[in-house]
Amino acid sequence: MRKKVILYNPKAVFFDMPLALLAIGSVLDFNKYEVIIVDGRLVDHPIKEIKKHLDQAICVGMTVLTGSPIKDALAITNEIKNNNKEIPIIWGGWHTSLFPKQTLIDEPNVDITVQGQGEQTFKELVDTLDKKGDLKNIKGICYRDTNNEIIKNAPRTIIAMDTFADINYELIDVEAYFEKKGNRQLDYISSTGCYFRCSFCADPFVYNRKWTAISPEVMVNKLENLYHKYKFTDLNLQDETYFTYRDRVIEIAELIIKKKLKFSWAATMRADQGSRMSLDDFKTCAASGLRRLLIGVESGSQEMMDWLKKDIKIEQVYLCAERCKQLGISVIFPFIVGFPEETAKSIEGTVKVAKELNSMHPDFSTPIFYFKPYPGSKITEDVLKKGYVLPQTTQEWSDFDYVGSSGPWVSQEKYAFFEKFKFYLKLAYTKQKIIYKPIQVLAQWRCKNNMFKFSFEKRLIDLFLTKQELS
Where does this chain bind ligand B12 (CB under 6 A)?
A: 9, 12-14, 16, 18-20, 23-24, 61-63, 65-69, 90, 92-95, 98, 114, 117-119, 121-122, 189, 192, 201-203, 238-240, 369, 374, 401, 470-471
Question: Cα(182)–Cα(178) distance, rounded to whole angstroms?
Answer: 6
Pick the closer one to ligand B12 by CB: 177 or 452. Answer: 177
Kind of pairing between the strands at 57-63 and 330-332? unpaired
Interface residue with ligand SF4 among 107, 124, 187, 203 (CB under 6 A) is: 203
Q: Which residues are bridge partners to 63 per DSSP? A: 92
In the window 228-257, what residues touch ligand SF4 (CB under 6 A)? Answer: 240-241
196: left (phi over 0), alpha (psi -120 to 50) or beta: beta
Q: How far is the CB of 459 from ligand B12 (least distance, A)?
A: 25
201 binds ligand SF4 (CB under 6 A): yes
Q: How far is the CB of 246 from ligand SF4 (least distance, A)?
A: 16
Q: How far is the CB of 381 from ligand SF4 (least distance, A)?
A: 14
Question: Cα(396)–Cα(94) distance, rounded to whole angstroms?
Answer: 16
Question: Cα(294)–Cα(354) distance, rounded to whole angstroms?
Answer: 14
Phi first, then psi, for residue 33 (nearest 5°) are -125, 140
Is 422 in contact with 367 (CB distance < 8 Å)? yes
Q: How far is the CB of 31 from ligand SF4 (least distance, A)?
A: 37
Q: How far is the CB of 12 from ligand B12 (least distance, A)?
A: 4
> Interacting stretch for ligand SF4, rule CB under 6 A, among 96-104, 191-199, 330-338, 352-360?
191-199
Pick the closer one to ligand B12 by CB: 67 or 373. Answer: 67
435: left (phi over 0), alpha (psi -120 to 50) or beta: alpha
**How many helices (H) and strands (E) are present in the chain, helices listed first?**
20, 17
Pick the closer one to ligand SF4 by CB: 88 or 334. Answer: 334
Is 174 in contact with 231 (CB distance < 8 Å)? no
Question: Cα(155)–Cα(153) distance, rounded to whole angstroms?
Answer: 6
In the window 292-351, what residues touch ligand SF4 (CB under 6 A)? Answer: 296
Q: Three-class SS of residue 135? A: coil
Q: How far is the CB of 253 from ligand B12 (least distance, A)?
A: 20
User: Which spans of this chain sit near ligand SF4 (rule: CB under 6 A)?
Assistant: 194, 196, 198, 201, 203-204, 240-241, 270, 296
